[in-house]
A and B are shown apart, each in its own frame.
Chain A
C-alpha cells in the first residue's frame, strides 16, 4: 500500500496507521444480526435488504468516469468489482460499460456518442444535458417507476434538498434521479492562522472591523518572525471565487452576494449589481493599497496561491469547510506549529453575516427512452440508500465504500449511483463533537470513531498533524460553523434552473466584466468603475436576464 501513496504522505501514513491500530485495539467487528439476500461467497454474512431481484438477470448498458484518484485492489477493475458483482448477484442487474472515460472528458464523450446514435441505457447528465436530451425525446419518464418502487430511504434523501426533485422534473414529469450532494458545503468560512493570532495577542474577529485589524497586523508585524516583510493578510486568487482563497465570504460580510439571485422587495435580484458590493470593494481596495493583499494576486491562480499558503506567508483566506485537508495542510507540513482555525464570517454591522451557497443539483441519473427496465435504476438507488447510505453496519460500509486502512481505494467510485445527504458532513461533525464532549465514542460508526481517535491523538499525544481533523470536526471546527449556516446563517441562491436564453448568450461576457471590474477596483481603479459596471450590466443583457429569472421564479415558487 505504501508505494501507492506519494512520498510526502508517508508521514501522514504513520498517523493513519496509528489510528488503525488504536481502532483494532478497541473495536472488534460486529456480528451480522440478520441475513436477507446474500448469495455467493463474496456477500455472505452481510445484512443486505433487496426486495426484488431480477431472475433471470437483466442487462443494462451504462457509462462511467474514472480519474487519477480511482484505484483498484488486486483482481478488480472498473468492469469487475464489488459494485458490478453486487448489482449482478444481489439485484440481478448486469451492468456493462459502453465506455469508461476520464472525468474531465465525460461531457464531451457523452455528447459525441449520443449524437452519433449510441445512447446508454442509464447514464448521468448535467441539468443542461438532461434538458437537451429530453427535448430530443431520448429520456424515459421515470415518474411511475419512482412512485411504484422508490423506498422510504430513497424518498427521504431526495426530499432532504427541497429543490432536488423539482430540478429533475420537466413539465411535471420526473426525468432524472438527482445525485444529491451537500449544497451548504459550498459556503465560505473564514480561515485564520491561529498561531499567528496567539503570537500577536489577537482574538477571534467578531466584526469586519476586527478582521481588518487582524489582516493589517498580520501583514505589518512579521507574525512568522523571519525578519522579512513577506506576510500577506488576506490571500486571494485570480479566479476571485471558488473553494479556495475566494472573495465570496468577504463580500458576504458586507451583506453582498455576488453571482447569485435572492429575493428583495418581492422580486429576485442579482447580487453582483447591488449597492452592498460597493463598501466591500472599497475595503478590499484599501487592503490592497496597504499591502495586505498580494500585489500580484491578479495573475495568481489556485496553484500559485497554494504555494503561498504552503510557504507560510498567508494569514487569512475565505474558503470552504474542508480547506484544512487541502491546501492548508501544506502550510502545517512545512511548519509543524502552523494551525488554522475556522470562524463564521464576521459582519460589517450588527446584523449577522450570512454565507451564500447554492442548492442546485450538478448531475442527474437518467434512463434511455425505450429501455425495458427503467425501474432497475430505482432499485439501484434503493440498494444504495437502504443498505449503505443510512447503514450503521460497519461491515457493509467497509465492503461498499472502502476500507479505512486503505484510504486511497475508494470503492463507491466504481458506480455512478451515489447520492449523499445534504447535511452529511454537518451531522457527522455534530455526532463527533457530541462524543468528544461526553468522552463517549460508543455510538459512533467506524469512520467517526476513526476520526475520534485522531482528534484524541492530537489532544492527548500532541500529534500535530492531526490538526486537520480538529480544525474541521473538533470542538469549534468548520463543520460546526456549517451547521449554523444551514440553520440561520446561510443565504441560499434562489435560482436553481437551467440557464435562461439571455443568460446563455450574455452571462459569460457579463461575468467577465464583473471579474474585470472587481480586480481593477481592488488594484486601485476608482470606485466609479463599479457604477459603470452596474449600468453596463443592465444595458448589455442584464435587464432581460432579470426579467427571465423572475418569470422563472413565478413558475417555480
Chain B
C-alpha cells in the first residue's frame, strides 16, 4: 500500500527532517553522556571532566556491574515481571476496553462502568490502606504483589476503548448479522484492526513494569526480591554527618562511584530500547483499510 498520499515539497521536507533530527540530537544527548561516564575512569567522572566522550577509557564499570550478583538477580526479577505482567495487563485491558467501547444502546451499564473505573484513577486513600489490603490478600513479599494490584491500567483502557470506537460500525454490524457474538467480534475484528494501538499499549505496559521502583521497595520484605529499578534506587548512599567510626569512614571513600551508576543505568535501559523497534512495525498507516478490502 502507498503509505503516504502527498509528499512534501523538497525544501519543506528538508526543514522537516532537519527539525526532527535536531530533536533527536537533543534527546540523545543525556544518553551519550551517561554512556561516556560509564566508560570513563572514576576520577575523571568525579571531577566532571566527562561530557560526550569517555575520558580515560575503561570498561571496568561494566565488569563490576555484571559481576555483581545483586544486580543480576534484580535484573532477573524485572525480566520475569515484564514477561508475566505484560500479558496479565493486556488481558485485563482488552477485556475492559471492549465493553466500554460499546454504545450506550448496546450496553446500558456503559456509562456507569466508565466512571466506576475512572474514579479509581482520581481517588485513593493513600499508602496505608493500600498496603493493608495488599497485606490482607497475602501478597506482601510475594512476586504477585508487583503484578496483581496494578493489573488494570485505566489510562491504557481508555486509549484502547477509543481506538475500538473509531473502527467503522458497519464491519461489526455485518459480522453480527452473520451470527458473530461479542467474543468473535472482539477477537476476529477489533483486535486485528487495532494493532497500532495494541502495540502502543503493550509498549507502555512493558515500560511501566520495567520502570516501576516504588512498589518493589515497599512491598518486598527483603532486598533480594527487588526488581531492577528498586535496586537502582538503593545504590545511592547519602553520608551521615555523624559518622564516626574508622569503618564508616573507610566506606565514605568508596561511595562516590558515578561510573558504576552510569553503567547500571545504561544496562537497565537496553532491554526496552531493543524491544521498541520491534514493536514499531505495527505502526503502519492504512492497515485497517487494507484488511477491510482484503
Contact = CB atoms under 8 A, between A and B. Distances in A.
A326 B46 contact: no
B41 to A, nearest CB: 7
Contact of A242 (B63, B234, B241, B256): B241
Given A108-B218, A112-B128, A407 B244 contact: no
A7 B44 CA distance: 12
Contact of B42 (A3, A8, A68): A8
B88 to A, nearest CB: 24
Contacts of A116: 128, 131-132, 135
Interface of B: 41-43, 46-49, 58, 60-61, 63-64, 67, 127-128, 131-132, 135, 141, 217-218, 221-223, 233-237, 239, 241-257, 259-260
A420 B242 CA distance: 10
A333 B63 CA distance: 23
A113 B132 CA distance: 8
Contacts of B249: 322, 325
Contacts of B252: 322, 325-326
A554 to B, nearest CB: 29
Contact of A7 (B60, B67, B255): B60
Interface centre among A6, A108, A118 (most CB of B within 10 A): A6
A115 B247 contact: no
Given A7-B64, A104-B234, A306-B256, A410 B221 contact: no
Contacts of A103: 237
Contacts of B217: 101-102, 105, 109
Nearest to B241: A243
Given A7-B257, A12-B253, A334-B43, 17 more contacts: A7-B58, A9-B254, A68-B237, A102-B217, A103-B237, A105-B218, A109-B217, A109-B218, A115-B128, A182-B242, A186-B242, A326-B255, A333-B46, A362-B242, A401-B245, A408-B251, A408-B254
Nearest to A242: B241
Interface string A355-390: 000000010000000000000000000000000000
Contacts of A35: none
A420 B254 contact: no
B245 A420 contact: yes
30 contacts: A6-B254, A6-B257, A7-B41, A7-B60, A7-B257, A9-B253, A68-B236, A68-B255, A101-B223, A102-B223, A103-B237, A105-B217, A112-B128, A116-B128, A116-B132, A116-B135, A185-B243, A185-B244, A243-B239, A307-B46, A310-B47, A312-B47, A322-B244, A325-B252, A325-B253, A333-B46, A402-B247, A410-B247, A424-B245, A428-B246
A118 B247 contact: no
A327 B256 contact: yes
Nearest to A446: B246
A99 B221 contact: yes
- 5 cross-chain pairs, A with B, having the tightest CB-CB distances, nearest first: A8-B42, A407-B250, A99-B221, A243-B241, A310-B47
Contacts of B247: 401-402, 407, 410, 412
Nearest to A333: B43
A100 interface: yes
Contacts of A112: 127-128, 131, 218
A330 interface: yes
Contacts of A108: 127, 218
Given A6-B260, A7-B259, A100 B222 contact: yes
Contacts of B49: 311
A451 interface: yes
B269 to A, nearest CB: 20
A66 B223 contact: yes
Contacts of B135: 113, 116, 118
Contacts of A9: 42, 253-254
Interface centre among A9, A102, A103, A450 (most CB of B within 10 A): A102
A330 B254 CA distance: 11
Interface centre among B234, B236, B241, B248 (most CB of A within 10 A): B241
B8 to A, nearest CB: 42
A451 B241 contact: no
A406 to B, nearest CB: 10
A455 to B, nearest CB: 13
B43 to A, nearest CB: 5
A6 B263 CA distance: 12
B234 A334 contact: no
Contacts of A33: none
A86 interface: no
A115 B136 CA distance: 13
A105 B235 CA distance: 13
A451 B253 CA distance: 15
A227 to B, nearest CB: 18
B105 to A, nearest CB: 45
Contacts of A7: 41-42, 58, 60-61, 64, 257, 259
Nearest to B63: A3
A329 to B, nearest CB: 6
Interface string A88-122: 00000000001111111100110111011110000
Nearest to A68: B235
A302 to B, nearest CB: 9
B237 A8 contact: no
A513 to B, nearest CB: 24
Interface string A298-313: 0000000011001110
A447 interface: yes
A8 B46 contact: yes
Nearest to A402: B247
Contact of B48 (A12, A310, A407): A310
Contacts of B235: 68
Contacts of B254: 5-6, 9, 69, 408
Nearest to A99: B221
Nearest to B230: A102
A326 B42 contact: no
A67 interface: yes
A425 interface: yes
A3 B239 contact: no
A306 B42 contact: no
Interface in A97-154: 98-105, 108-109, 111-113, 115-118
A180 to B, nearest CB: 10
Given A102-B233, A109-B218, A112-B218, A6 B42 contact: yes
Nearest to A9: B254
Contacts of B60: 7
A307 B37 CA distance: 14
B242 A100 contact: no
A100 B42 contact: no
A26 to B, nearest CB: 18
